[in-house]
A and B are shown apart, each in its own frame.
Chain A
Amino acid sequence: MAKKTVNIALVGNPNTGKTSLFNALTGLKQKVGNYPGITVSKKEGFAKITAGLEANIIDLPGTYSLNPSSIDETIVLNYLLDKKNKPDIVLVVAEVEHLKRNLLLFTQIKDLGYPAILVINMADQLDRKGISIDIEALKKQLDSEVVLVSARKNKGIDQLKQVLANHKMLPSQALIKGEAIDKDLFETLEKIVPNQPLYISWLALTHPEVSLLSAEGQKKLNDLALSKNKIKQLQNRETIVRYQVINTILKGIYIKDYMKGSGLRSKLDRILTHQFWGYVIFFLILVTIFQSVFAWASIPMDYIDGLFSDIVHLLEQKLPAGKLTDLITQGIVPGIGGVLIFVPQIAILFFFIALLEETGYMSRAVFLMDKVMRKFGMSGKSVVPLVAGTACAVPAIMATRTISNWRDRLITILVTPFTTCSARLPVYAIIIALVIPDKTVGIFNLQGLVLMILYLLGFFMALLSGYILTWFLKQQNKTFFIIEMPSYKIPSFRNIFIRIVEKTKAFVFGAGKIIFTISIILWFLASYGFYTKQDVSNYEETLLEKKRSPKALDAAVANYKLEHSYIGTAGKLIEPLTKPLGYDWKIGVGLISSFAAREVFVGTMATLYSVGGQDDEGTIKERMAAETNTETGKPLYNLPVGMSLLIFYAFAMQCLSTLAIVKKETNSWKWPLIQLFGMSGFAYLMAFITYHIFS
């Protein structure tokens, strides 16, 4: 028998465990792509239903209804109404405790004419929450299949698959008649757009911004000329009617004992949302996260660093000397290492962020921080991007999509790159290790303290620039802020694990590509330049007259080549700009290349010092420590230079991937350019001041 494939769309309210169900059905057979034209990630997975039936499952963003108020929610509407790629079946995920509210979306999906299955998740909580549901009666009332599952425990998945196997039998009748909302209007709709579910025409009427009908049909609808207020009243009416129908359906079918089940929530909320202790706990959580990231990640990072320098060493011995070997040992291998070294930090940060979201804590943080964030032109929901920004600004900026107000969202996007992302960490780590003494001040390690200050400086700058931006960007629409406070849950480690894998993969293959490519280009630019063989041998002759040791001679020649390479020439060209900050031309080269991505700095230094280096052994740090200032003969990386570099990297906008994502999310070059020049100009100024304070 030939295999058949059905397309299944997963929809549901946020916090219903939709992703858990998706993970339970597909395991790791998932891929993350993009919806055409927008950067919202599209999660697809593959599941085997029966021997002869396979399913392609699309996990749509969480939404409370088909009346969208954010970009994520608009995707659901567009996807379900796209005539070309209609899913065969829609799974509507609900959960036991909020079934009534979840049914609002379910009735809307039914009214679109889809064969819909109601999947009631968290069935293992029924007893504990004092809830009983008469499933058979509910099936009858909803004229649909209903399946009880507990996705996190893999229970009920088989029954769901059985229902999916018989998907041809699923009814697809609308549940709610339009007359109850507005009789005349719905009769008119029937006449204007016959032969299609009335609810689709209704959505086309109320959401003229999304094109759902043919141009002709849409024009006829527009001729009805309903005012915005009228539409809003009708939508309210629709909501009330739907709740009336749902209440009638659930009468006697869904029984909840209100004495049971809310104990844990109120106990935890009393502390976690407390007017004083809530903030103390939030602050402690943040400190714990950043401390752990630094403490836990340093071990695997040192290991990766050491491993790659061993590989380079080994390859240099085994491979025949030549340009190709140089490309591998000085360009490609350090390039891969430069990408992989971030994996521990990104994985650990996303572990914590996933943990906070999985347990339900993140919404409490949003609740606590809303008032504070509003002062800085943002909303409580900006907390998530700002915390995620400490891993990487790219996913953080994508996480701003839940902010429905455009101005708040724009400000959040603009200031997020100030938060200390993991790409800054290797730069900070290496410079701190070079210039800050490893000693204890009070109870703090001085190096750790400087790092902590840099983190706080990032947040401080994000808030400060948010505040400044409120002078220029005025609120245009009314801002609405509603956030659901989900119940507390024990996190599912499968969900967390899948999330970590997904984010890490996205980093390695997304930003990683840029870093890797640049490493190779840099090697090329450092290995070739504006000099001929003749120039080099002429230079060698001048040296020979001075009677140096062979080793010093080699080093001098290598330095000569580097200085006259393409990149060395560029570094020298901008030296008038970098000198006031205390940098030599090599650091200048590092700065230029960092505009592709900050972490490239470390890789560039590695490339520069291995191309021009005196010996091939030792880590990057050792090579940098050995570097001397040609004018003073003292170590180049002293306190003023180090502090000035730290400040520059803290403030400058040096990340191509971030600029690209800002362009996509704001749909304009204006904002990324403002970030690039605004942040970097400010960074230059502050680095200049810092250098002179410490000199």
Chain B
Amino acid sequence: MTIADLNVGDIAQVVACKATEIPLKLMEMGCLPEQKIKILQLAVANGPIYLEVNGSFIAIRKETASQIQVKYLKQGANG
């Protein structure tokens, strides 16, 4: 399962990122293994994903999100 498979409100934990496939900047902003992420909003038509990870609020595109393996934790209460 990757971030791209999650819905708004879902909480998951980062398992692994493909180092060569995701930008270094994403890791520098706190998206690291073992960190919890929460999906805050999805843009229409498979647009960017707005999420919170390690205290950072960021938006990334679906292609990048699909390179980050996560473990599903729970469905949050609607955002």
A and B associate: yes
Which residues of A lie under 8 Å from residue B23 when comparing CB positions?
69, 480, 482
Indicate if the CB atoms of A367 and B24 lie closer than 8 Å.
no
Which residues of A lie under 8 Å from residue B26 when comparing CB positions?
480, 482
Closest B residue to A97 using CB positions: B55
Given the interface pairs A101-B30, A380-B48, the reply to whether A270 lies near B79 with Cβ below 8 Å is yes
Indicate if the CB atoms of A233 and B19 lie closer than 8 Å.
yes
**5 nearest CB pairs, A to B:** A371-B47, A480-B23, A485-B57, A65-B28, A273-B41
Indicate if the CB atoms of B19 and A239 lie closer than 8 Å.
no
Q: Does B74 have its Cβ within 8 Å of any Cβ on chain A?
A: no
Given the interface pairs A482-B59, A484-B57, A486-B57, the reply to whether A243 lies near B43 with Cβ below 8 Å is no
Which residues of A lie under 8 Å from residue B58 when comparing CB positions?
482-485
Interface size on A, residues (CB 8 A): 41
Given the interface pairs A69-B23, A269-B40, the reply to whether A480 lies near B64 with Cβ below 8 Å is yes
Indicate if the CB atoms of B50 and A273 lie closer than 8 Å.
yes
In the complex the two chains form, what is the Cα distance from A236 to B40 in whole Å?
Answer: 26
Indicate if the CB atoms of A67 and B50 lie closer than 8 Å.
no
A-B contact pairs, 27 of them (CB 8 A): A64-B28, A67-B24, A69-B24, A69-B25, A97-B55, A98-B56, A100-B55, A101-B28, A101-B29, A229-B20, A232-B19, A236-B24, A240-B33, A269-B50, A275-B42, A366-B59, A367-B41, A367-B47, A368-B47, A370-B47, A371-B44, A371-B46, A480-B22, A480-B64, A481-B59, A483-B59, A485-B59
Indicate if the CB atoms of A101 and B56 lie closer than 8 Å.
yes
In the complex the two chains form, what is the Cα distance from A453 to B23 in whole Å?
Answer: 41
Indicate if the CB atoms of B28 and A100 lie closer than 8 Å.
no
Which residues of A lie under 8 Å from residue B41 when comparing CB positions?
269, 273-274, 367
In the complex the two chains form, what is the Cα distance from A363 to B41 in whole Å?
Answer: 13
Q: Does A266 have its Cβ within 8 Å of any Cβ on chain B?
A: yes
Closest B residue to A486 using CB positions: B57
| Least distance between B58 CB and chain A CB atoms (Å) | 5
Which residues of B lie under 8 Å from residue A239 when comparing CB positions?
24, 27-28, 32
Identify the B interface with A (CB < 8 A): 19-20, 22-30, 32-33, 40-48, 50, 54-61, 64, 79
Closest A residue to B57 using CB positions: A485
Indicate if the CB atoms of A101 and B54 lie closer than 8 Å.
yes
| Least distance between B43 CB and chain A CB atoms (Å) | 6
Q: Mark A346-368, 1 if CB is under 8 A from B, else 0.
A: 00000000000000000100111
- With beta carbons under 8 angstroms apart, the residue of A65, A266, A273, A275 that contacts B25 is A65
In the complex the two chains form, what is the Cα distance from A274 to B79 in whole Å?
Answer: 12
Which residues of B lie under 8 Å from residue A69 when comparing CB positions?
23-25
Which residues of B lie under 8 Å from residue A240 when comparing CB positions?
27, 32-33
| Least distance between B16 CB and chain A CB atoms (Å) | 11
In the complex the two chains form, what is the Cα distance from A380 to B19 in whole Å?
Answer: 24
| Least distance between A108 CB and chain B CB atoms (Å) | 10
| Least distance between A75 CB and chain B CB atoms (Å) | 16
Indicate if the CB atoms of B60 and A236 lie closer than 8 Å.
no
In the complex the two chains form, what is the Cα distance from A233 to B41 in whole Å?
Answer: 30
Which residues of B lie under 8 Å from residue A65 when comparing CB positions?
24-25, 28
In the complex the two chains form, what is the Cα distance from A101 to B60 in whole Å?
Answer: 17
| Least distance between A24 CB and chain B CB atoms (Å) | 25
In the complex the two chains form, what is the Cα distance from A354 to B46 in whole Å?
Answer: 30
Which residues of A lie under 8 Å from residue B55 when comparing CB positions?
97-98, 100-101, 256
Q: Mark A475-514, 1 if CB is under 8 A from B, else 0.
A: 0000111111111000000000000000000000000000
In the complex the two chains form, what is the Cα distance from A269 to B24 in whole Å?
Answer: 27
In the complex the two chains form, what is the Cα distance from A243 to B34 in whole Å?
Answer: 12
In the complex the two chains form, what is the Cα distance from A104 to B22 in whole Å?
Answer: 19
Among B24, B58, B79, chain A packs the most CB atoms within 10 A around the CB of B24
Which residues of B lie under 8 Å from residue A97 when comparing CB positions?
55
| Least distance between B1 CB and chain A CB atoms (Å) | 21
Which residues of A lie under 8 Å from residue B60 when comparing CB positions?
481-482
| Least distance between B22 CB and chain A CB atoms (Å) | 8
Indicate if the CB atoms of B30 and A265 lie closer than 8 Å.
no
Known: A275-B44, A371-B45. 13 other contacts (CB 8 A): A67-B25, A97-B55, A101-B28, A104-B28, A243-B32, A270-B79, A363-B59, A370-B48, A371-B44, A481-B60, A481-B64, A484-B29, A487-B57
Indicate if the CB atoms of B48 and A371 lie closer than 8 Å.
yes
Given the interface pairs A100-B55, A101-B54, the reply to whether A481 lies near B48 with Cβ below 8 Å is yes
| Least distance between A37 CB and chain B CB atoms (Å) | 25
| Least distance between A104 CB and chain B CB atoms (Å) | 6
Indicate if the CB atoms of A243 and B30 lie closer than 8 Å.
yes
Which residues of A lie under 8 Å from residue B24 when comparing CB positions?
65, 67, 69, 232, 235-236, 239
Among B20, B48, B55, B79, chain A packs the most CB atoms within 10 A around the CB of B48
Given the interface pairs A232-B19, A243-B32, A269-B50, the reply to whether A481 lies near B61 with Cβ below 8 Å is yes
Indicate if the CB atoms of A266 and B40 lie closer than 8 Å.
yes
Closest B residue to A481 using CB positions: B61
Which residues of B lie under 8 Å from residue A371 when comparing CB positions?
43-48
| Least distance between A394 CB and chain B CB atoms (Å) | 28
Indicate if the CB atoms of A482 and B29 lie closer than 8 Å.
yes
Indicate if the CB atoms of A485 and B50 lie closer than 8 Å.
yes
Indicate if the CB atoms of B43 and A367 lie closer than 8 Å.
yes
Among B27, B42, B55, B57, chain A packs the most CB atoms within 10 A around the CB of B57
In the complex the two chains form, what is the Cα distance from A138 to B30 in whole Å?
Answer: 20
- With beta carbons under 8 angstroms apart, the residue of B47, B48, B54, B56 that contacts A484 is B56
| Least distance between A500 CB and chain B CB atoms (Å) | 28
Which residues of A lie under 8 Å from residue B28 when comparing CB positions?
64-65, 67, 101, 104, 239
Indicate if the CB atoms of B30 and A236 lie closer than 8 Å.
no
Indicate if the CB atoms of B25 and A480 lie closer than 8 Å.
yes
| Least distance between B30 CB and chain A CB atoms (Å) | 5
Indicate if the CB atoms of B19 and A100 lie closer than 8 Å.
no
| Least distance between B9 CB and chain A CB atoms (Å) | 11
Q: Mark A616-629, 1 if CB is under 8 A from B, else 0.
A: 00000000000000
- Which residues of A59-101 are within 8 A (CB) of B? 64-65, 67, 69, 97-98, 100-101
- Which residues of A539-592 are within 8 A (CB) of B? none
In the complex the two chains form, what is the Cα distance from A366 to B47 in whole Å?
Answer: 11
| Least distance between A570 CB and chain B CB atoms (Å) | 51
Q: Mark A259-275, 1 if CB is under 8 A from B, else 0.
A: 00000011001100111
